[in-house]
Chain A
Amino acid sequence: MKLRVNSLEYDLAVLPHRLLVDLLREDLGLTGTKRGCDDGSCGACTVLVDGKPRHSCLTLGRLVEGKEITTIEGVASGDGLHALQRAFVEKGALQCGFCTPGMVLTALPLLERVSLSEEEVREALAGNFCRCTGYTKIVEAVLSAAKARGRAP
């Protein structure tokens, strides 16, 4: 089957039981996507499927044929980090980094909103767990990236 990841098309033989997270990490070597809890609690495996954050560990590979997948490797362009990634660095919003790809991909669509409040950021990130920094700096990073675009106060 054909799998579209970060605007590249791959031809893969996919058995019915293979999960999207495994196709990304094992077949394509895109190990930025993390496997965490295996039951939808932690959000570490979040990728964008047709622009919406979904859990790649709860998604059968065959069922995303023809859809556009974005992983953390596809967020930056060229050598430069995406503004949201820069905001994470500047605000100190990561420590061990395990939850960061999921956090960034969950927050990315929020930047398209007309306006963004702190409460909305907290609600959107509620299903992504961080066990190091706490959430204050992560929320600050997302708000500062939104502010840079004129979308948050």
Chain B
Amino acid sequence: MLAEGFDLHRPSSVAEALEFAGRFPGEFRYLAGGTDVLPGLFHGLGATRHLISLQDIAELRAFVPEEGRIGAMVPLGTLAESPELRARFPAVAEAARQAASPNLRNSSTLGGNLLLDTRCTYYNQSAFWREALGYCLKNGGEECRVVQNRERCYAAYCGDLAPSLLVHDARIEVAGPKGRHLRPLKDLYDPQADGRTPFRLGPGEILLSVSLPHEKVRSTYLKLRARSAPDFPEASVAIALTLEGKKLRELRVAASGVATVPLLFEDLTLPLIGHAMTEEVARDLAEKVSRRLHPVTNTAFPPDYRKHVFRHFLMSGIHELQSGTH
């Protein structure tokens, strides 16, 4: 059940949405597909006075896979089923296909997934459950329940699409009270911030679209979860890899489900460009990347297992892309 006491607004343009946002400072939330915001609201998480639905803004629904442009309100199902997207940006189509469940993907959107609220077994619970234990940091309490401390929230970022878009070097367009601007997707996430609000978006700003560069890159996405649907990633990896002869022309690796933000490991992959990708190099990279992951006990699987599988996924993903099965 949804509690009464909020207004629902339906702007038909970005300008109108920003106008609503400006009218209710600090008292509104944007609503995309609703598949994560509504279950939260059922449990009193993220309650607000005004919901501003973005569903009637035609601009946000534009989808031009040939040019790598995807509006923020494009349903994940559209991405999962697009042959053009799969041909050009395989990891993006694959991440969409593995996100949520087929029916949820008819509602859930790209923008909603990129800005998915962080998750934790001590946060995504009923109001009664949370109150009984005493509220955690993310819920306005004074102490984290997972890692005993009073400063840092460890809720995990569990969006499926971000890693794939990061390895494809995506840019985003954002609109705010001061106008529109483009920036790299990786700047949307703040690794210094904690799990409460790891996004770099100003008050009222709206994520409009994602654009991907045209060059053809091989890529893949591998995801650990208990069931094939509708689970969030326990750990997932996206890899983009292109060879020139035997040498790496391009290599990017990104992760989700293992930290408060999606992680891109540019400093570990850049030094490998121009070198051959041997079994040994792959193993060394997997080792270095997994040392950067610090999953904690706040999802269904134990942290060590998530790290172990991640390492395996990274190795087998690299192998798969090299052997050209994609």
> Could you tell me which A residues sit within 8 Å of B by CB distance?
15-19, 38-41, 43, 46, 49, 52-55, 58-60, 62-63, 106, 123-124, 126-128
5 more CB-based (< 8 A) A-B contacts, given A40-B230, A126-B228, A127-B229: A38-B39, A53-B106, A55-B35, A55-B104, A63-B34
Bound complex: CA of A55 vs CA of B77, how far in Å? 14
B102 touches A40 (CB 8 A): no
B107 touches A54 (CB 8 A): yes
Which of A16, A53, A60 sits near B103, CB closer than 8 Å?
A: A53
Shortest beta-carbon distance from A124 to chain B in Å: 5
Shortest beta-carbon distance from A140 to chain B in Å: 19
- Residues of B near A58 (CB, < 8 A) are 34-35, 38-39, 104, 107
Instruction: Say yes or no: A55-B8 contact (C-beta < 8 A), given A19-B2, A39-B42, A60-B34.
Output: no
> Could you tell me which B residues sit within 8 Å of A by CB distance?
1-8, 10, 31, 34-35, 38-39, 42, 51, 53, 55, 77, 100-104, 106-107, 227-230
B102 touches A124 (CB 8 A): yes
B42 touches A38 (CB 8 A): yes
- When C-beta atoms are compared, the residue in chain A nearest to B231 turns out to be A41
A127 touches B2 (CB 8 A): no
Bound complex: CA of A38 vs CA of B5, how far in Å? 19
Which of B31, B53, B77, B229 sits near A126, CB closer than 8 Å?
A: B229
Most buried by A among B3, B7, B35, B55: B35
- Residues of B near A38 (CB, < 8 A) are 1, 39, 42
- Residues of B near A59 (CB, < 8 A) are 34, 107
Bound complex: CA of A18 vs CA of B39, how far in Å? 14
B106 touches A52 (CB 8 A): yes
A41 touches B230 (CB 8 A): yes
Shortest beta-carbon distance from A70 to chain B in Å: 13
- Residues of A near B38 (CB, < 8 A) are 19, 58, 60
- When C-beta atoms are compared, the residue in chain A nearest to B4 turns out to be A17
Which of B1, B6, B227 sits near A16, CB closer than 8 Å?
A: B6
B55 touches A43 (CB 8 A): no
B35 touches A17 (CB 8 A): no
When A and B form their complex, which 10 residue pairs have the shortest distance between CB atoms, in order from nearest?
Answer: A127-B101, A126-B229, A16-B8, A39-B39, A17-B2, A53-B103, A127-B229, A52-B106, A58-B38, A17-B4
A17 touches B34 (CB 8 A): no
Shortest beta-carbon distance from B93 to chain A in Å: 14
Shortest beta-carbon distance from A38 to chain B in Å: 6
- When C-beta atoms are compared, the residue in chain A nearest to B107 turns out to be A54
Instruction: Say yes or no: A40-B100 contact (C-beta < 8 A), given A16-B51, A58-B34, A63-B55.
Output: yes
Which of B3, B77, B100, B102 sits near A123, CB closer than 8 Å?
A: B102
- Residues of B near A18 (CB, < 8 A) are 2
A43 touches B34 (CB 8 A): no
- When C-beta atoms are compared, the residue in chain A nearest to B97 turns out to be A123
Bound complex: CA of A17 vs CA of B50, how far in Å? 11
Shortest beta-carbon distance from A117 to chain B in Å: 15
Instruction: Say yes or no: A62-B8 contact (C-beta < 8 A), given A53-B103, A126-B229, A127-B103.
Output: yes
A127 touches B104 (CB 8 A): yes
- Residues of A near B5 (CB, < 8 A) are 17
Bound complex: CA of A15 vs CA of B5, how far in Å? 10
B42 touches A127 (CB 8 A): no
- When C-beta atoms are compared, the residue in chain A nearest to B33 turns out to be A58
Shortest beta-carbon distance from A121 to chain B in Å: 11
Instruction: Say yes or no: A15-B4 contact (C-beta < 8 A), given A58-B107, A126-B101, A127-B229.
Output: yes
Most buried by A among B5, B53, B103, B229: B103
